[in-house]
Structure 1
Amino acid sequence: MNFRKYWDDFKNAFYNKIDALSVRKKLLLVYVLCVLIPTLVTHFIFTLFIVKNLQQQKESQIKSVFNILNAGIKKVVEEAIIYSNTLYTDDLLNDMLDVDYKGLEDFYQSYEEYLRNRIYQGRNVYSNIAKVTIYTNNPTVINSDGYKKISRDDKKWVETVLKNTRGIVVMPTVEPGVNGEEGYISLFRNLNQFEQRSTSRGNNSRYLKIAKIDMYLSSFFNSINFEIFGGELYLLDASGRIIAAHTSNNSIFAKPFIKFEKDKFVPKDAYVFEERIEYDLLSGWKLVGVFSKAYMLGEIYKAIEYILFISILSLLFATMLIRMITSSLSTRLELLTRHIKKIRRQNFEVLNCREGNDEIGNVIKEFNNMTLKLKELIEKEMLSEIQRKTLEIEKKQAEINALQSQINPHFLFNTLDSIRMRSVLKNEYETAEIIKYLTRTLRRLIYWGNDITTVEEEIGFVEDFLKIQKYRFGEKLRYKIYVDEAARNCLIPKMTIQPLVENACVHGIEEIEGDGEILIEVKKENAFLVIRVEDNGIGMDERKLKELYENMNSQSYETSIGLKNVYRRLMLYYNNAVDFEIHSNFQAGTRVVIRIPLELPAFVYKI
């Protein structure tokens, strides 16, 4: 019972949330829950599955290569074992090394007859064998090519061979060579053990005999030189020394059998695989593969890119298809909603769109019929009222026009001209001149016209302003204007220079006790027009100058309106490509320098 109530409450709450959403949001929710999320989850699981298979495939490939290399290494060693077997079972060789030779000639006679050829046979027949040496403790054997007496230096490896139950040991050895030390992989074999196992003869060996078969390091290099192998490969002995390597790092061959250090030979982002050599004689030896991230993950990245491309393509296709279907619903509903709202504002406009034959289309048809009927009814009932209101509005507009004509600017100009003429008749020529300049200034401000003017026209307007200011200040004000001839016909926005001159008069010259001077200079410099306005007025300290800059960049128009207008207009006209500099010191005047591009943007000419 309680479960039923909870379920009903949950459904009501869910439906209330859904009903509060617009149709577009509902359709978007269906798309996200039923298309987008299932597609992304499916592709994600599929990507994980593909990545895992590719990783297993790559590891299986590496393991197969390691097995091939493992067999190649064993083949090199087994060749030496095969030859050691011939020495191991050679009774004549064993007997000749047990003989007590009477002197050098006696030994060399046996050496020439048999011993030398027995040693050379291994070198000539087996390509991996570099040399063969038989060590013995027979004191009458002379050290020669292939035969040596056991010395104290050989004690360590001799003990190792004798302790070995099989009597066979493989280990790296280093011997002096022509170009320094040379490294070999040597197979040591106790030749006396054959007598101990033979039933045909007793253990009658008088002296110890151990064969040392040196294999070329190049044979081990060749055995792991797998050209299709995409990485670096190291063959390490039981002590972790590098026996052979397939790598581009030649420095490891400078000295044989250097220690393999991961910090030195393995990059930080590399993958390392190790596999032990499955061979009793090479116990503890292993193959170490070092693979770059690109080699290990290259195919995975390609697979991910391909899957990502398919996912995006399928999502785009599904999105476009669902968008086309949902747009048919949401667009018509939104248009219908907007037109219903227009009816509340008494805008009876018929909905012109593709109606369709579904439920929404039927609603649109009924809405259009209702709109036409309402419009017809309102036109009939309220036509007379609308006409009356229209007549009243026209009457009020006529009254407003009459009032505006009473303060027409022509009245102001005619009045100023009358005052100027009377001043001339009374011989007040200075006043008449000032009124003329004031009239021209007002006319220019009122009849603004195009927003762009030439430098020459702007300077003429500035001169009229300065003459009015000189009438006000008298001898206290002096000014100089320098205009480059090449700059006179350059185009600039109106009221670019005059506000700067006005600031110099009002905020600079007016506040000093002595004479004031204003310098105006306009010239061309490369692709820029440079305007400089300088005064010797009161100036400002560093704090006020900083406040002025901050005010120019703010949205407020409470102070420095004229200067700020110039700055903001220029920045808008020239898309912030204007240098606007203000230099000032307290009691030392102010200098404003503006650098603007000579070429105006195309849109300015339409203003």
Structure 2
Amino acid sequence: MKLLRTTFDHVRLRDKMLLLYFLCVFAPVVLTNLIFYHVTSQNVKEQRMQDISRALEQIKVEFYREFEDAMEISSIFYTDHQLNELLEQTYPHPADYIAAYDSYLRRMLNNTYSPVYHSVGGITIYTDNSTLLNSGGISFIDERVKSLPWYGKIPPGRQSKPIFVRTDDGTGEQLHPFSLIRRMNYFYSQNGREKILKIELRMSSIRDIFHNLNLQGSLFLLNERGDIEYTTDSKININAKAVAYNELQLPKDTIEFKTHYVLTSNLNGWSIVAVVSGDEVLYGMQESRNFVLLLTCMNMLLPTLIIVWITRSLNVRIHRILRYMKKVKNQHFELIPGTESRDEIGQLTGEFNRMTLKIKRLINDVYVADIRRKNVEIQRRHAQLNALHSQINPHFLFNALETIRMRSLMKHEDETARIIHNMARIFRKSLVWNKDRVTLREELELTRCFLEIQQYRFGERIRYEVQARPEDLDYLLPKMVVLTLVENASIHGIEPLKHGGCIEIHFEHQEERLLLTVRDNGVGMSVEQVQRLYSYMQSQEEMGERIGLQNVIYRLKLYYGSRFELAIRSAPGEGTEIRIMIPADWE
């Protein structure tokens, strides 16, 4: 818990306010609305599924009622004794048949049942009694009738069960109508006559049943074999041949609803299947989703505006205080303008202004006086240093070296004279510090003097190579930086080798930067030595009495701060390469 609190203390105020907003407003509102949307969507989906199932059950019941009406009519015809006697009787003259037809058959076939049962489209009795007239609901069983598909499906024998099939009588209907067909053999026939009753259902009533407005989708009436007997899908042609429902290629997002006829005469095993698009089921869910989204936006808009307004009031004023604090750090003591507010930030602003005024007065009263006192101390130390210099009197040393050089020239010892001359130049340059930065040309002249002295000492054991373009010789760099690097390479890198080595000095100007490279093939340095040199880059100590490369790093930090780069590549026995990159300042 303490670690979490410490970590949270480092988070910016604006980020804290955003975190507070997301955790306390955004996330709870979104989570609550997601749960609400999920629950509502599930309820809507379940309700829609129940509505579709109820509509399917309603279709099932209404269709079965149509079928039961036909069954009831067929039972009346099947068990009517007088009807069977009239159909069995032989009529010598057509007038006799007409009289019998008008007395009973017309009432049975046309007037009694059709108006009552509006779902019946027509009643036809087929018989092989040739004394009957082929009209008024009576038809002969001839070769044409026997060739019809439904005729072959009638089971033989007494007490035959009715069949429920679609019949095609060549009327050109788009969908063949349903018919209930059964043999009228309830009574014994002395003449052995065949009588068949066909009750045709009205297809308009069937269409009204299956085109239920509460069910948007395709409906399929399947027989016990799974073949489609009726469908609301106009793309499927079931008149030409039997179409199995399982062979249909339904879209992937469809949902099936199925209801079965169980323990019902003649329709046992039949079923009604509704194929509904998933979008239709989820339509109500989409409306619920839109409502939830609207509610979420309304719940988030007002809190968001309030939090943004409060956050801006805090964040802007705190950043203004921070900006003026940075100015104070850079010794610009400016007061924060504006009237002081009564909240904590306003009190902080007022205290900052009073503190700034007090610091400004302290600087004027104390710091300036302290600077004057330090300037006096610096001048006193300069006086002591000048006194020491005057005691040593370096001009005496320069004159002595010059006298030795002249005597060497008189004795024709030109090489000795040249080396003494180089030593005098190095000695003079090292003591004269009226300027701390010199041109690259001056630094290279001093470096060549040192290298010539080294060659005088070691002969062919030491070699050197200097590469610098003439147009780069006027760039400035701190005094004796190159000389110190070359001295380290000579003394610590080359001298320990018996066979000697080579020192390469390379200068290059790259995009407003000056790259200095000093490379030798000497004994090299260990990893610890390289890391120690790198540590000088991070050290904040005063210069003290440090010398050599440490002195160079200190002076580069003093002049350029973080604008210079140092890279050291060395390994024991592989030599050393030191690369220094500084800003390119022109004289």
TM-score (normalised: structure 2): 0.52
Could you tell me how far apart the structure 1 residues matched to 2:155 and 2:232 are?
Answer: 34
Aligned to 2:201: 215
Unaligned runs of 5+ in 1: 1-10, 196-201, 388-555, 558-607
The question of whether the paired residues in 2 share the 8 Å contact of 1:252 and 1:258 is answered with no
* Cα offsets for 1:81-125 (capped at 9, x unmatched): 332233133111123344567798887775565445533346753
Instruction: Write the mapping of 1:214-233 to structure 2, written as runs, cut at 5 A.
Output: 214-227=200-213, 229-233=215-219
Cα offset, 1:220, TM superposition: 0.9
* Cα offsets for 1:402-457 (capped at 9, x unmatched): xxxxxxxxxxxxxxxxxxxxxxxxxxxxxxxxxxxxxxxxxxxxxxxxxxxxxxxx
Identity between Structure 1 and Structure 2 (%): 26
- Go from structure 1 to structure 2 and tell me whether the alpha carbon gap of 1:39 and 1:21 turns closer, same or farther (over 3 Å shift): same
Aligned to 1:172: 166
The amino acid across from 1:130 in the alignment is: G
Aligned to 1:478: none
* Cα offsets for 1:375-419 (capped at 9, x unmatched): 2333456789999xxxxxxxxxxxxxxxxxxxxxxxxxxxxxxxx
Match of 1:133 among 124, 131, 136: 124
* Cα offsets for 1:464-504 (capped at 9, x unmatched): xxxxxxxxxxxxxxxxxxxxxxxxxxxxxxxxxxxxxxxxx
Cα offset, 1:141, TM superposition: 6.8
Cα offset, 1:321, TM superposition: 1.9
Aligned to 1:157: 153
* Cα offsets for 1:190-244 (capped at 9, x unmatched): 5445x6xxxxxx9999666542212232321122233464334344444445544
Match of 1:183 among 176, 199, 203: 176
Alignment pair present for 1:330 and 2:326: no
Could you tell me how far apart the structure 1 residues matched to 2:199 and 2:299 are?
Answer: 67
The question of whether the paired residues in 1 share the 8 Å contact of 2:126 and 2:139 is answered with yes
The amino acid across from 1:311 in the alignment is: T
The question of whether the paired residues in 2 share the 8 Å contact of 1:183 and 1:257 is answered with no
Instruction: Write the mapping of 1:356-371 to structure 2, written as runs, cut at 5 A.
Output: 356-371=341-356
Match of 1:343 among 328, 332, 342: 328
Instruction: Write the mapping of 1:269-418 to structure 2, written as runs, cut at 5 A.
Output: 269-277=253-261, 280-352=265-337, 355-379=340-364
The amino acid across from 2:153 in the alignment is: W
Match of 1:68 among 27, 35, 58: 58
Cα offset, 1:185, TM superposition: 0.8
The question of whether the paired residues in 2 share the 8 Å contact of 1:175 and 1:182 is answered with no
Question: Which secondary structure does the structure 2 equivalent of 1:30 belong to?
Answer: helix
Could you tell me how far apart the structure 2 residues matched to 1:162 and 1:77 are?
Answer: 23
Alignment pair present for 1:39 and 2:29: yes
* Cα offsets for 1:316-371 (capped at 9, x unmatched): 32222223333343333333233222211111122235654344433322211101
The amino acid across from 1:51 in the alignment is: S
Question: Which secondary structure does the structure 1 equivalent of 2:167 belong to?
Answer: strand
Name the larger-Rg structure. Answer: 2
Question: Which secondary structure does the structure 2 equivalent of 1:175 belong to?
Answer: coil
Could you tell me how far apart the structure 1 residues matched to 2:162 and 2:206 are?
Answer: 19
Unaligned runs of 5+ in 2: 373-510, 513-587
Aligned to 2:18: 28
The question of whether the paired residues in 1 share the 8 Å contact of 2:94 and 2:133 is answered with no
The question of whether the paired residues in 2 share the 8 Å contact of 1:186 and 1:212 is answered with yes
- Go from structure 1 to structure 2 and tell me whether the alpha carbon gap of 1:88 and 1:355 turns closer, same or farther (over 3 Å shift): farther
The question of whether the paired residues in 1 share the 8 Å contact of 2:321 and 2:336 is answered with yes
The amino acid across from 2:2 in the alignment is: N
- Go from structure 1 to structure 2 and tell me whether the alpha carbon gap of 1:155 and 1:228 turns closer, same or farther (over 3 Å shift): closer
Could you tell me how far apart the structure 2 residues matched to 1:345 and 1:299 are?
Answer: 66
Could you tell me how far apart the structure 2 residues matched to 1:210 and 1:292 are?
Answer: 44
The question of whether the paired residues in 1 share the 8 Å contact of 2:258 and 2:273 is answered with yes
118-127 vs 342-351, which deviates more? 118-127
Question: How many residues end up aligned between the 2 structures?
Answer: 366
Alignment pair present for 1:81 and 2:77: no
The question of whether the paired residues in 1 share the 8 Å contact of 2:88 and 2:189 is answered with no
Question: Which secondary structure does the structure 2 equivalent of 1:14 belong to?
Answer: helix
The question of whether the paired residues in 1 share the 8 Å contact of 2:228 and 2:238 is answered with no
- Go from structure 1 to structure 2 and tell me whether the alpha carbon gap of 1:181 and 1:111 turns closer, same or farther (over 3 Å shift): farther
The question of whether the paired residues in 2 share the 8 Å contact of 1:97 and 1:141 is answered with no
The amino acid across from 2:358 in the alignment is: K
- Go from structure 1 to structure 2 and tell me whether the alpha carbon gap of 1:113 and 1:351 turns closer, same or farther (over 3 Å shift): same
- Go from structure 1 to structure 2 and tell me whether the alpha carbon gap of 1:106 and 1:32 turns closer, same or farther (over 3 Å shift): same
* Cα offsets for 1:29-66 (capped at 9, x unmatched): 22222222222211111110111111122122222322
Question: Which secondary structure does the structure 1 equivalent of 2:170 belong to?
Answer: strand
The question of whether the paired residues in 1 share the 8 Å contact of 2:226 and 2:246 is answered with no
Could you tell me how far apart the structure 2 residues matched to 1:157 and 1:255 are?
Answer: 17
The question of whether the paired residues in 2 share the 8 Å contact of 1:221 and 1:245 is answered with no
The question of whether the paired residues in 2 share the 8 Å contact of 1:275 and 1:288 is answered with yes
Could you tell me how far apart the structure 1 residues matched to 2:82 and 2:88 are?
Answer: 10
Cα offset, 1:269, TM superposition: 3.6
- Go from structure 1 to structure 2 and tell me whether the alpha carbon gap of 1:274 and 1:381 turns closer, same or farther (over 3 Å shift): same
Could you tell me how far apart the structure 2 residues matched to 1:168 and 1:367 are?
Answer: 105
Question: Which secondary structure does the structure 2 equivalent of 1:348 belong to?
Answer: coil
Could you tell me how far apart the structure 1 residues matched to 2:175 and 2:337 are?
Answer: 96
The amino acid across from 1:133 in the alignment is: T
The question of whether the paired residues in 2 share the 8 Å contact of 1:277 and 1:284 is answered with yes
The amino acid across from 2:206 in the alignment is: F
The amino acid across from 2:216 in the alignment is: G
Could you tell me how far apart the structure 1 residues matched to 2:175 and 2:356 are?
Answer: 105
- Go from structure 1 to structure 2 and tell me whether the alpha carbon gap of 1:114 and 1:348 turns closer, same or farther (over 3 Å shift): same
- Go from structure 1 to structure 2 and tell me whether the alpha carbon gap of 1:300 and 1:235 turns closer, same or farther (over 3 Å shift): same
